[in-house]
């Protein structure tokens, strides 16, 4: 049985057994039974308790071995020590899956972790899927399958509605909050799955199952971490192909237990930055809070994807117009100015307003119909692929009529019309109409704009714009790398070896030579031409500045010889056991600096990093990360996101750096990260210098992965 079909049997069961069921209404087992009956589960429910107490609504048995059938789902409402035996019985009965609510497992220490491993192995070896520990279960309103104890289920049954959004959460209590939020707004969820500790069923697998669910139009993920990166990426790409938006709220900023690395690249590639890069590459819209997660998912589930990037905004509030323009710019949303033709068309409809984008109609008390006419004018313009109508309660008496007009207009046009409804209680009737008619609508400007930005990104990915192509490893270079690898250990190449490999790959490296003596250093300087740089060459001294093992701007043979002796002495004093190959003598190329790097993330795989050069990147945490390979367009976006970008644009009289050339260099480097993911662990190119009209790599450290 494949993963999808096994989960379908478990998540949409025809029969359920509750182990540990009693008549005590405060116990989880009784709460699950009550909720199953309340929400209309039609299949048999078997209760299991060694004393077989009478329980209304369930047929009781002393053990799972004695239930009359093979339960599709088993709810484990028993203490942790009893779980292994119950799972063994579930295996004997051929159960589909088991939900474990209780804690006391890996999160508590070694003893709990051992118990968790034991129950995982029992379930896996026996073909029973395991959800939890620390799961709050599955809530599937349309199927009446409510295998959960959450307090949100105490609401009247008609308030736990089905909706277009499917939810996977690693935080059960927050799932309850989202159901309450949906209930208050007249919405609901198609299904929610709480994965808990994830020894068996983890977020990526539940995510993939939701992609195939016919009632799910958008997928919301509330996550702390991704345990299986390849499965998560596969599910995200399947969602993209299926036309289902994915929205994520990442909570927690702790670093995963990666191998400790010594490079600037590793220091800058933090956990949160990695998730942001992966989400962007996969078209996943990132949100900051659970409430925003639900709001954005609701809008994206109900909205079409625009055919382009231009956004028009129509308001009848000058303040709202300014606020939206500012926030759109911060989120990178394009709001093209109105054309002269559009301004002429708008003029008759304005009442002390402004014919810009965002458009401010001014007062509309005397002519509410003008609102939809202005929106229609925007929809007619080729520059706008999506139009946002913004409504306020001005006047409140027009709210219902305005909403009906907007619904009618939306059904007459192909362009998306996501609504920002800033009307509060006075305009509730209008908002209710929009939601009843399945219109995308939000009451929070930030949520709506995040949804719009996510829809635009999805459109670009679906059109194939700006996507990078994978490259295959060059056989000759692959052989050279494999010759330098060593079994079972990571190998840090010296700067000289790193630069040699980069040249072989076709990257621009500052000209230079490795000198093994003072005389060779002097000769190399003469050949290269003054001024030069001299620095210790050692795989054991990655940061020459810290060791005072580098000298810049040397302008004569005498200075080179003096530098040789100083650098050698300082390097040996800094690291007495270091392997010192000699010194690199290179052309001195001062200019604008940047850091480029690649690394293999243990969860998601190859990543590329761009950061402000020198110590600025680490001091200011000024870096951008991308899931490799990235396109030149995405590399350019990464560069634009840097706070230190002004240094590239001719800061204080320095010549502007070539940003497109830098984007191409970063994109090419990202292809190396993907092509040689099994051979290269890290590349740290710091600095890469724009000097003499071109980008050149001035320093480099490459770390190779263990060989075969």
Written as one string, the DSSP assignment of 20-41 is T--S-TTSHHHHHHHHHHHTT-
The predicted structure's pLDDT at residue 559: 98
Binning pLDDT at 50, 70 and 90, where does residue 531 land?
very high
Q: What is the pLDDT of residues 425-461, one digit of tens each?
A: 777 889 999 999 999 999 999 999 999 999 999 999 9
Q: What is the pLDDT of residues 171-208, one digit of tens each?
A: 878 889 999 999 998 899 999 999 999 999 999 999 99
Predicted confidence (pLDDT) at residue 394 exceeds the cutoff of 70: no
Instruction: Evaluate the CA torsion angle 526, 529, 531, 532 in order and state its sign.
Output: negative
Structure tokens at 454: 């996510």
Looking up tokens 């590459």, which residue turns up? 281
Distance of CA 706 to the CA centre of its chain: 29
Query: Can you tell me whether residue 369 is helix, strand or coil?
Result: helix
Binning pLDDT at 50, 70 and 90, where does residue 257 land?
very low
The predicted structure's pLDDT at residue 465: 80
Residue 271: which residues within 8 A CB-CB, separation 6 or more? 253, 254, 255, 256
Q: What is the pTM of this model?
A: 0.91
Cα 113 to Cα 101, 107, 117, distances in angstroms: 16, 7, 6
Binning pLDDT at 50, 70 and 90, where does residue 255 land?
very low
Q: What DSSP state is assigned to residue 339?
A: P
The predicted structure's pLDDT at residue 355: 87
Are the CB atoms for 8 and 193 separated by under 8 Å?
A: no
Are the CB atoms for 257 and 537 separated by under 8 Å?
A: no
Q: What is the pLDDT of residues 285-324, one digit of tens each?
A: 999 999 999 999 999 999 999 999 999 999 887 788 889 9
Are the CB atoms for 138 and 145 separated by under 8 Å?
A: yes
Q: Phi first, then psi: give them for residue 226, nearest 5 degrees.
A: -105, 125
Query: Can you tell me whether residue 59 is helix, strand or coil?
Result: strand
Structure tokens at 607: 């990543």
Binning pLDDT at 50, 70 and 90, where does residue 613 land?
confident
The predicted structure's pLDDT at residue 615: 59
CA dist., res. 38 & res. 669, Å (int): 58
Domains of the chain: 1-134 (3.40.50.720), 150-303+445-465 (3.40.50.261), 306-439 (3.40.50.261), 511-588 (3.30.1490.20), 592-704 (3.30.470.20)
The predicted structure's pLDDT at residue 622: 87
Mean pLDDT of 678-683: 96
Q: What is the pLDDT of residues 684-698, one digit of tens each?
A: 999 999 999 999 999
Structure tokens at 197: 């500790």
Are the CB atoms for 585 and 532 separated by under 8 Å?
A: yes
Q: Phi first, then psi: give them for residue 669, nearest 5 degrees.
A: -65, -40
Using CA atoms of 306, 308, 313, 319 in order, give the dihedral in degrees to the nearest 10: 110
Give bridge partners of residue 610 from the DSSP assignment.
596, 624
**DSSP states along 345-362:** HHGGG-BS-B-SSSEE-B
The predicted structure's pLDDT at residue 2: 56
HSE of 628 in the Cβ direction (CA atoms, 13 Å)?
26
Residue 463: which residues within 8 A CB-CB, separation 6 or more? none
Using CA atoms of 552, 556, 558, 563 in order, give the dihedral in degrees to the nearest 10: 10
Q: What is the pLDDT of residues 16-64, one digit of tens each?
A: 999 999 999 999 999 999 999 999 999 999 999 999 999 999 999 999 9
Pairing of the two strands 694-697 and 680-691: antiparallel
Nearest partner of 207 among 181, 177, 230, 174, judged by Cα: 230
Predicted confidence (pLDDT) at residue 658 exceeds the cutoff of 50: yes
Binning pLDDT at 50, 70 and 90, where does residue 262 land?
very low
Of 210-214, 271-275, 470-474, the range with the highest mean pLDDT is 210-214
Q: What percent of the chain has pLDDT over 70?
A: 95
Are the CB atoms for 563 and 532 separated by under 8 Å?
A: no
Binning pLDDT at 50, 70 and 90, where does residue 617 land?
low
CA dist., res. 421 & res. 431, Å (int): 7
| Mean pLDDT over the full length of the chain | 92
Binning pLDDT at 50, 70 and 90, where does residue 363 land?
low
CA dist., res. 131 & res. 100, Å (int): 6
Residue with the larger pLDDT of the pair 156 and 424: 156
Q: What is the pLDDT of residues 635-645, one digit of tens each?
A: 999 999 998 89
The predicted structure's pLDDT at residue 542: 84
Mean pLDDT of 266-281: 80
Are the CB atoms for 400 and 427 separated by under 8 Å?
A: no
Task: Specify burial of residue 268 (Cβ count, 10 A radius: 0-12, 13-18, 19+).
Answer: buried
Q: What percent of the chain has pLDDT over 90?
A: 81
The predicted structure's pLDDT at residue 316: 81
> 500-509, 566-575, 580-589, 606-615: lowest mean pLDDT where?
606-615
To 5 degrees, how large is the angle CA 616–CA 686–CA 556? Answer: 105
For residue 696, the surrounding DSSP H or E stretch is: strand 694-697
CA dist., res. 275 & res. 56, Å (int): 48
Cα 527 to Cα 514, 553, 568, distances in angstroms: 12, 16, 22
- Strands in 218-223's sheet, in edge-to-edge order, are 145-147, 137-140, 188-194, 161-169, 218-223, 246-250, 284-287
């Amino acid at each position: 049985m494949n993963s999808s079909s096994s989960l379908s049997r478990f998540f949409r069961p025809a029969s359920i057994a509750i182990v540990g069921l009693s008549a005590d209404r405060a116990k989880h087992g009784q709460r699950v039974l009550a909720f199953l009956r309340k929400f209309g589960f039609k299949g048999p429910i078997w209760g299991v308790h060694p004393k077989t107490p009478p329980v209304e609504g369930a047929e009781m048995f002393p053990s799972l071995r004695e239930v009359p059938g093979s339960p599709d789902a088993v709810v484990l409402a028993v203490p942790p020590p009893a779980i292994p035996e119950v799972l063994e019985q579930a295996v004997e009965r051929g159960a589909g899956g088991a939900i474990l609510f209780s804690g006391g497992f890996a999160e508590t220490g070694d003893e709990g972790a051992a118990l968790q491993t034991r129950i995982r192995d029992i379930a896996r070896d026996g073909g029973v899927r395991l959800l939890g520990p620390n799961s709050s279960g599955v809530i599937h309103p349309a199927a009446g399958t409510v295998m959960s104890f959450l307090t949100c289920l105490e609401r009247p049954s008609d308030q736990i509605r089905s909706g277009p959004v499917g939810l996977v959460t690693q935080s059960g209590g927050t799932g309850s909050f989202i159901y309450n939020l949906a209930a208050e707004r007249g919405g609901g969820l198609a299904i929610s799955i709480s994965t808990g500790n994830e020894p068996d069923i983890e977020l990526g697998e539940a995510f993939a199952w939701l992609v195939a669910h016919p009632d799910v139009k958008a997928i919301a993920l509330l996550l702390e971490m991704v345990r299986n990166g390849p499965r998560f990426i596969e599910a995200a790409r399947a969602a993209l192909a299926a036309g289902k938006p994915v929205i994520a709220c990442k909570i927690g900023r702790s670093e995963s237990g990666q191998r400790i690395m010594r490079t600037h690249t590793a220091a800058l590639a933090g956990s949160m930055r990695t998730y942001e890069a992966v989400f962007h590459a996969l078209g996943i819209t990132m949100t900051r809070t659970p409430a925003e997660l639900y709001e954005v998912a609701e809008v994206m589930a109900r909205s079409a994807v625009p055919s382009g990037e231009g956004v028009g905004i129509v308001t009848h509030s000058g303040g709202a117009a300014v606020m939206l323009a500012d926030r759109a710019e911060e989120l990178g949303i394009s709001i093209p100015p109105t054309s002269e033709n559009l301004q002429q068309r708008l003029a008759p409809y304005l009442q002390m307003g402004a014919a810009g984008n965002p458009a401010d109609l001014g007062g509309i008390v005397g002519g509410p119909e003008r609102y939809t006419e202005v929106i229609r004018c925007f929809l007619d313009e080729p520059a706008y692929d999506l139009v946002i109508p913004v409504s306020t309660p001005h006047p409140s008496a027009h709210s219902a009529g305005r909403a009906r007009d907007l619904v009618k207009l939306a059904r007459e046009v192909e362009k998306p019309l996501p609504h920002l409804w800033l009307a509060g209680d006075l305009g509730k009737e209008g908002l209710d109409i929009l939601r009843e008619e399945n219109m995308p609508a939000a009451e929070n400007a930030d949520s709506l704009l995040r949804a719009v930005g996510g829809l635009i990104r999805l459109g670009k990915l679906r059109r194939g714009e700006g996507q990078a192509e994978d490259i295959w490893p060059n056989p000759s270079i692959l052989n050279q790398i494999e010759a330098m690898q060593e079994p079972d250990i990571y190998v840090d190449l010296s700067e000289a070896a790193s630069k040699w490999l980069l040249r072989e790959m076709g990257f621009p490296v500052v000209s230079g030579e490795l000198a093994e003596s003072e005389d060779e250093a002097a000769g190399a300087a003469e050949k290269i031409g003054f001024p030069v740089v001299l620095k210790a060459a050692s795989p054991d001294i990655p940061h020459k500045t810290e060791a005072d093992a580098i000298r810049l701007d040397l302008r004569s043979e005498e200075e080179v010889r003096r530098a040789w002796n100083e650098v050698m002495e300082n390097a040996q004093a800094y690291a007495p056991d270091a392997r010192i190959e000699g010194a690199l003598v290179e052309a001195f190329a001062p200019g604008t600096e940047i850091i480029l790097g690649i690394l293999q993330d243990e969860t998601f795989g190859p990543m590329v990093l761009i950061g402000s050069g020198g110590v600025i990147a680490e001091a200011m945490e000024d870096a951008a990360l991308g899931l490799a390979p990235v396109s030149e367009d995405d590399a350019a976006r990464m560069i634009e996101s840097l706070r230190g970008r002004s240094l590239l644009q001719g800061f204080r009289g320095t010549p502007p750096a070539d940003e497109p050339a830098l984007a191409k260099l970063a994109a090419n480097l990202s292809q190396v990260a993907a092509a040689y993911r099994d051979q290269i662990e890290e590349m740290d190119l710091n600095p890469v210098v724009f000097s003499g009209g071109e980008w050149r790599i001035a320093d480099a450290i490459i770390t190779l992965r263990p060989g075969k």
